[in-house]
Structure 1
Amino acid sequence: MSFPLFRTFKMSALCTAALIALSACGGSDDLELVSVEFTHTPAPKASEPDLMAKTYTSSKAIYTYSNGLKEEHPLSYNTLYSVGDKINENKGVKVPAGQLFDAQMNPLQDPLGQPLVAETPDSNSLLKVGSKLYLVTHYEYDWLLSDKSEAWTKPGWYSRAPMSMTLTELKQESNGKLSVVKQRPIDFSSVDGLWIACAGGPTPWNTHLGSEEDYDMIYNPLDKNYSTTTAGVKSMTELYFKNAKQANPYAYGWIPEVTVKEDGSTSVVKHYAMGRGTWELARVMPDARTAYMGDDGTHGQMVMFVADKKADLSAGTLYGAKFTQTSADGGGKGNLEWIRLGHATDAEIKALIDKGTKFTDIWDAKPFDTTAKSCPAGYKHIRAGSTTDECIALKPGMEKAAAFIETRRYIAYLGGTTEFNKYEGVTVNAKDNKLYLAITAIDRGMISSAGEPADHIRFNKLSAGATYTADMKSGVKDTSGNLIDSPHVAVNLYVEPALLGQDIAKDDKGNTASDDRIANPDNLFFSEKMRTIFIGEDSSSAHTNNYLWAYNVDTKKLSRILSLPAGAESTGLQVLDNLDGKGAYIMSNSQHWGDLSANVPEPLKSELKKRIDVFHADVGYIGGLPTLK
């Protein structure tokens, strides 16, 4: 079988796989690599609690060459560190890797006087900077306190905490194995701290692009007590600023960028010009100007940012999508148009925040008439960021503030689509100019419901979710007829059949989705040289064990390549096809081990609890892949 993409790989006919990560073996034969595919790692059974309680792979990567030669390379999972390992050095003292800090970089303690440690390692960016290897890693939220109680259930404690990233210097051995040299926390005090750092990844210019989810920082005009946002502001004010400064909710929900220098120093910025949301991550396209951001929540937005200059996200134009459905079948499909929201610089939007711009400065809001099911005359009925019906009117001269600080509401106000549900990971296939995006569950705004303000999306409910494809084009005009200055404008959405989840009746593990299909996709990363999308799951109930999958876009083969401990989410996904000629790597973390759903039968749950250390969550990688040149 022939494939459209060929890569040259220098090797001898007798070259064999290594155990960790392997450079090309010696030899002078020039062979063209035709394809890479993966064998299936079997899912653990309910009768195998030992397997259900650990991270493992039994997959092999099969390399096929132009002369018909096939090579099998066994994969292996390698842990770099766990969040509890005391490797994170700050002010001359080593603390746990997942330690959280205040604005003065003093370690925070939980209400029991123990270190406040996040069990939630998320995004990774492994960066080669000069002669050094650095790993930037997110910590998303604090799940457990030291007594194993969930943080948001502790009376008098905080529902969420200020978050952190670490910078870990790594060493690469001659056989490709990676190990930790040293680690330190990254200081975000210059940008008012960090709030719910979810996914992220490397940029084309070798920096790390992160995320903030604005949960607990979304003001609801019908919430007279302002209780949810008040809780978030209270946490940042008391825990992070130690009451030296009052936190501003509009200071969170942005895309942060971390630049790493060879000496290990870092600089951080937040890109206010990219808009505000419950960002899962921002993925930059091959032009180094266009970016798409996943908005993780209900009634979410689809946003595209086009920077003025390459490799500079500090200024640009923001667009919001309007979706027109053409079918509800097979996960649903339809076409995309783009509404120009506005142009701004980071400095302009930061100035609006710093001067204390509030929701009530931007919007006039009225209660929704639940009897008449309508808004007062002159007010727009929207749902944006929640299922709450809102009636809003834009105040004069506040277009720019609305576009960049209240992005989701402004898209809805202008007639765009804010019905996406848990739109999470984003990745790009450069050769085919395709975008892939994860919808964890097709539900809420994405299914037809009575009273929906716009009801642009009317798909069939599928709790297992799907990974969507969008074709991208150049020469596309916005809804006002103006040319969008990007070759990567998404024009439609559809699902390849293998990437559609499958709901089932609850099985003996508590699964409510088929173990042989992807359920609740979240993290995405595309390898150009493998022609493969890697898909990590975040399933709280559909799959008791989350998995990491590989889907070859040419052969359409879907393979499970990693099984995670029960309750743990697959995070930290990044694929490096060639790292210093010593191997290819699939970076992979897992968080909140043992966070078991109510679906798991009690006898099985008891067995799993005996075997799973809930304070353990690790940062690691899958090795065993020879370098792809």
Structure 2
Amino acid sequence: MSITLKNKFKLSALALSVAFVLSACNGDDGKAGKNGVDGTVGEAGAPGVDGANGIDGSVGKLTRIATVPEGAEVTGLFLTDEGDLFFNVQHPSDANTQVDAVNGKLFNTGTVGVLRGVNFNDLPDNLADSPVPVTEMERQTVMSAVGEYQILGQTNDIFAGLPAGLGVIHNIVSGEKVVESNTPDFNGFIPTSDGEGYLFSNWESYPGGVSRMKIKKDSFGKWSVIDAMMVDFDQVAGTAANCFGSVSPWGTPLTSEEWIVRSSVDTTTDASWNDPENTSTDGIEAMTAPDFPNPYRYGYIAEITKPTEAEPVVVKHYTIGRYEHENSVVMPDRKTVYSSQDDTGGVLFKFIADNPEDLSSGTLYGAKLTQDAGSTEPSTTGFDVSWVELASASNAGIEAWISEYDGIDTSDYVEGQTSYMTMADVQAWANGDATYPSVENGGSAVTAGQPMDDRAAFLESRQAARLKGATAEWRKLEGLSINHDRALEAVGGVESIAGEDVTQAYLYMGIADIDNTLTDDEGDIRLSARVKDCGGVYRAKLEENYDLARIEPVIMGGTYRSSLDGAERCDVNQLSQPDNVIVMKDGRILIGEDGFQENNTLWMYDPK
């Protein structure tokens, strides 16, 4: 207690004593004296020290835009400059029996469509949720909060120019029908004029394919299909499991090959690839005459050039690396490409082209992550990012390496060995050895004793990145997305968003499962398993030259409940295994689910 306060306390006690004595004598109260004059105001004290900044509150909002029929996942999210939102109903249950009132069709096979009659570049902030489906009709059709879902095409639909049927894929040698794909994935729209253009859609199967529908919109927002085709992949020896993708800033679809690699954390190409007792390669043999095609011809990003011409040209960019590609996205500098690996123990890759709009040569990098110290909670734990340079090469140079593995057949098979690259080969490259190891020392017969080169970085990219120090621990690293105009304004300094001063832009990343290599007690990433299979979405701020230096969580699914079955494991009102992610012009993001909900959801999230 201060001296002043102590003295005041003593005076107050004395005054009380006097008052008690006077009242005890029962004397009359005296008249109140006049109020004294206020004393002068003292000088202001020095300003106090600012307190520490508080933690930002969670102010984001999830809105349920649409749900898809039973058995289906939401794929193919693509938002056009005119505000048209395309998305697909991938592999719905073939037991669905309810006829959709808008289209007069069943959702019992792969479906490509669009939400018509609404501009997603001009949505209100207070949009109401679409309901969680309750009735059989609601469970087996597309329900939406805005617009109406219009079916553009379904598996086997026949159009002018495509008598064989949409999503039907043929053997590139015999021409025989191989697959009636039920799995449409990526959509990419290439406009040719207002309300008209070409819609490219991936068909994620073995062999894979891409369809092209020429479509046109009327004044009421209804679309019609003018003609269609399946893109000819014979020119690149076929393609495998075309998953998600993107459209480059110069207007070419980039389609991703997934599934083909068969390389887990500890092995490279499967030793049984050309085993005469087991020549099945998950259906890839249907693409070419032999049952054991060269595996190094698959697992890349393919660019569809001349997309609006009668015969589009396909180029596989070996330079971006060989792994289980989910999708790649090109930055506004038209050189920097980020690419995701959809697998267990995957890597986030970056490729920087030598020249703008030309992905045929450049340098490949893998991301090294450093987790926030003392933090394991998925909803708050971030990672600092540095980049490990792997190698530089050109498509032509890598093609020469790939061709050395052509012609390998069952006569080359040795039990327990691979006829392709070995871990010893990749390790020798990572060590900087002058030559490849001999067969006796674990090397491949193709390269044994030869001078070392950089083929490991491009043919076995995950292992090369891991052995060079990149973080190979992502689990189902799915869609990557930026809004090109926001990124161009924030980083490139070019005003592109009317009415908004954009100073920061982000690359968003969907993670379907936060488990396995993300939650074990090994390596660079060691998260809690609380979220597990419910997944979440991360973002990385685009820095100078479109670099990434930091990855942080944006929104996570609910707490995973392993004691429950089916859809109940993840809260129906929270994310469940996010897959596609699209950034809107106003900064909100669209998220498509690939989960185990009875009806997967297309969400809109407002990070503001």
What is the TM-score of this pair, normalised by structure 2?
A: 0.67
User: Are positions 1:281 and 2:339 aligned together?
Assistant: no
User: Are positions 1:295 and 2:341 aligned together?
Assistant: yes
Distance 1:228 1:21, change over 3 A: farther
User: Are positions 1:53 and 2:101 aligned together?
Assistant: no
Task: Render the CA deviation track for 1:23-70: whole Å, top value 9, x for unaligned.
Answer: 89xxxxxxx98964532112124xx3331121111x2xxxxxxxxxxx
Instruction: Give, as a single letter, the amino acid of the residue that structure 1 aligns with 2:505.
Output: N
Instruction: Select the residue among 572, 575, 581 that pairs with 1:524.
Output: 581
The question of whether the paired residues in 1 share the 8 Å contact of 2:261 and 2:269 is answered with: no
**Aligned residue number for residue 129 of structure 2:** 40
**Aligned residue number for residue 404 of structure 2:** 355
Hey, what's the Cα distance between the residues in 2 that align with 1:202 and 1:546? Answer: 25
Q: Secondary structure at the match of 1:412?
A: helix
Distance 1:405 1:514, change over 3 A: same
**Aligned residue number for residue 367 of structure 2:** 321
The question of whether the paired residues in 1 share the 8 Å contact of 2:300 and 2:320 is answered with: yes
Hey, what's the Cα distance between the residues in 2 that align with 1:34 and 1:176? Answer: 16
Instruction: Give, as a single letter, the amino acid of the residue that structure 2 aligns with 1:458.
Output: R
Hey, what's the Cα distance between the residues in 2 that align with 1:107 and 1:378? Answer: 42
**Residue 295 of structure 1, CA deviation:** 0.5
Instruction: Select the residue among 121, 142, 167 that pairs with 2:184.
Output: 121
User: Are positions 1:457 and 2:525 aligned together?
Assistant: yes
**Aligned residue number for residue 552 of structure 2:** 494
Distance 1:433 1:98, change over 3 A: same
Q: Secondary structure at the match of 2:378?
A: helix
Hey, what's the Cα distance between the residues in 2 that align with 1:246 and 1:360? Answer: 11
Q: Secondary structure at the match of 2:517?
A: helix
**Aligned residue number for residue 434 of structure 1:** 506
Instruction: Select the residue among 181, 204, 207 that pairs with 1:140.
Output: 204
**Residue 82 of structure 1, CA deviation:** 1.0
**Aligned residue number for residue 21 of structure 1:** 117
Instruction: Give, as a single letter, the amino acid of the residue that structure 2 aligns with 1:422.
Output: K
Distance 1:53 1:508, change over 3 A: farther
Distance 1:210 1:304, change over 3 A: same
Instruction: Give, as a single letter, the amino acid of the residue that structure 2 aligns with 1:53.
Output: Q
User: Are positions 1:341 and 2:397 aligned together?
Assistant: no
**Residue 223 of structure 1, CA deviation:** 5.8
**Aligned residue number for residue 536 of structure 2:** 466
Hey, what's the Cα distance between the residues in 1 that align with 2:323 and 2:271? Answer: 22
Q: Secondary structure at the match of 1:329?
A: coil
Q: Secondary structure at the match of 2:221?
A: coil
User: Are positions 1:175 and 2:211 aligned together?
Assistant: no
Task: Render the CA deviation track for 1:367-386: whole Å, top value 9, x for unaligned.
Answer: xxxxxxxx9x9999xxxxxx
Instruction: Give, as a single letter, the amino acid of the residue that structure 1 aligns with 2:364.
Output: L
**Aligned residue number for residue 167 of structure 2:** 98
Q: Secondary structure at the match of 1:511?
A: helix
The question of whether the paired residues in 2 share the 8 Å contact of 1:233 and 1:248 is answered with: no
**Aligned residue number for residue 443 of structure 1:** 515
> In angstroms, what is the RMSD of aligned CA positions?
3.4
**Aligned residue number for residue 475 of structure 2:** 421
The question of whether the paired residues in 2 share the 8 Å contact of 1:466 and 1:499 is answered with: yes
The question of whether the paired residues in 2 share the 8 Å contact of 1:511 and 1:544 is answered with: no
Distance 1:88 1:213, change over 3 A: farther
**Aligned residue number for residue 463 of structure 2:** 409
Distance 1:120 1:88, change over 3 A: farther
The question of whether the paired residues in 2 share the 8 Å contact of 1:221 and 1:365 is answered with: no
User: Normalized per residue, which structure has more strand?
Assistant: 1
**Aligned residue number for residue 54 of structure 2:** none
Task: Render the CA deviation track for 1:497-552: whole Å, top value 9, x for unaligned.
Answer: x4444323666874310011111010111112x3211110111x3x2211111112
What is the TM-score of this pair, normalised by structure 1?
A: 0.65
**Aligned residue number for residue 627 of structure 1:** none
Instruction: Give, as a single letter, the amino acid of the residue that structure 2 aligns with 1:548.
Output: L
Q: Secondary structure at the match of 2:256?
A: coil
**Aligned residue number for residue 247 of structure 2:** 202
Hey, what's the Cα distance between the residues in 2 that align with 1:78 and 1:349? Answer: 43
User: Are positions 1:77 and 2:149 aligned together?
Assistant: yes
Q: Which protein has the larger Cα radius of gyration, Structure 1 or Structure 2?
A: 2
**Residue 277 of structure 1, CA deviation:** 0.7
Hey, what's the Cα distance between the residues in 1 that align with 2:567 and 2:320? Answer: 40
Hey, what's the Cα distance between the residues in 1 that align with 2:518 and 2:465? Answer: 16
Task: Render the CA deviation track for 1:194-244: whole Å, top value 9, x for unaligned.
Answer: 10100012111111011001435548469654489965648434x22234x
Task: Render the CA deviation track for 1:535-593: whole Å, top value 9, x for unaligned.
Answer: 10111x3x221111111232xxxxxxxxxxxxxxxxxxxxxxxxxxxxxxxxxxxxxxx
Instruction: Give, as a single letter, the amino acid of the residue that structure 2 aligns with 1:411.
Output: A
The question of whether the paired residues in 2 share the 8 Å contact of 1:214 and 1:252 is answered with: no
Hey, what's the Cα distance between the residues in 1 that align with 2:422 and 2:565? Answer: 51
Hey, what's the Cα distance between the residues in 1 that align with 2:274 and 2:470? Answer: 28
**Aligned residue number for residue 569 of structure 2:** 512
Instruction: Give, as a single letter, the amino acid of the residue that structure 2 aligns with 1:98.
Output: G
Aligned residues: 445
The question of whether the paired residues in 2 share the 8 Å contact of 1:217 and 1:250 is answered with: no
Distance 1:34 1:347, change over 3 A: same
The question of whether the paired residues in 1 share the 8 Å contact of 2:260 and 2:298 is answered with: no
Q: Secondary structure at the match of 1:353?
A: helix
**Residue 401 of structure 1, CA deviation:** 0.4
Task: Render the CA deviation track for 1:83-137: whole Å, top value 9, x for unaligned.
Answer: 13222745xxx1221211111582415xxxxxx3010011111111368510111
Moved more, 353-362 or 195-204: 353-362
Instruction: Give, as a single letter, the amino acid of the residue that structure 1 aligns with 2:390.
Output: L
Hey, what's the Cα distance between the residues in 1 that align with 2:550 and 2:280? Answer: 36
Structure 2: where are the runs of 5+ without partners?
1-81, 83-114, 409-417, 432-441, 491-503
Hey, what's the Cα distance between the residues in 2 that align with 1:409 and 1:263? Answer: 39
Distance 1:37 1:318, change over 3 A: farther
Q: Secondary structure at the match of 1:282?
A: strand
**Aligned residue number for residue 533 of structure 1:** 589
Task: Render the CA deviation track for 1:399-457: whole Å, top value 9, x for unaligned.
Answer: 510111111000111121111000010011424231111111111111124xx4xx111
Moved more, 248-257 or 35-44: 35-44
